[in-house]
Amino acid sequence: MDKVSWFASQYGYSYEKQVTEPGDWVPYYLSEIPFAVGFTLVIAGLLFGGPWLQRAFSITPLRLIGILGYSIYLWHIPLLYLFSSFPSFAHLTPRQQFVQLLAMTSLGLVLICSAIYLAVEKPFILRGRTPVRRRLPPVETPVALPPVAQEAVGAAHD
């Protein structure tokens, strides 16, 4: 067993143990804190770090992932289920299944999410950037009331 599989099996075991054993909820909830701190440090480094760090994260593939990120989040599980249900996966070893599923899902995500971005998100982004020209309603000039109407209005206020 290679190191990656061993690590995954160890993490999977500890995750299962934390979820299934009663009374072990504290490690379960606290296990995500290091990831949150690491993510916060990465974001802080990108915002307040040097220009070399900002340039490293502004390369085109990473920007593409940033643009398509929410669509990728929405579509990755449905595509994983769809592709893993293909009958051609049944005779493959787990490693081959993983590689093929990763390749097919990655390609499908790039195609579907790019199409959704170009067809749905980008037009609304561009529309939001254009200033809206609103026509103001014409200003009505006050009309002087005839003396009879003025008396009626004055009598109504009394």
Q: Give which of 98, 72, 76 is closest to 8, Cα–Cα.
A: 98
Q: Provide the residue-wise pLDDT of the chain in tens; the chain has 158 residues.
A: 455 444 445 444 444 444 555 556 666 677 788 888 988 988 888 888 888 888 888 888 888 888 999 999 999 999 999 998 888 888 889 899 999 999 999 999 999 999 999 999 999 999 888 887 777 777 776 666 677 666 666 655 55
CA distance from start to end of the chain = 97
How far CA 149 is from CA of 131, 145, 153, 158, in Å, comes to 45, 6, 6, 14
pTM above 0.75, yes or no: no
Q: Which residues contact 84 (CB under 8 A, 6 or more apart)?
A: 97, 101
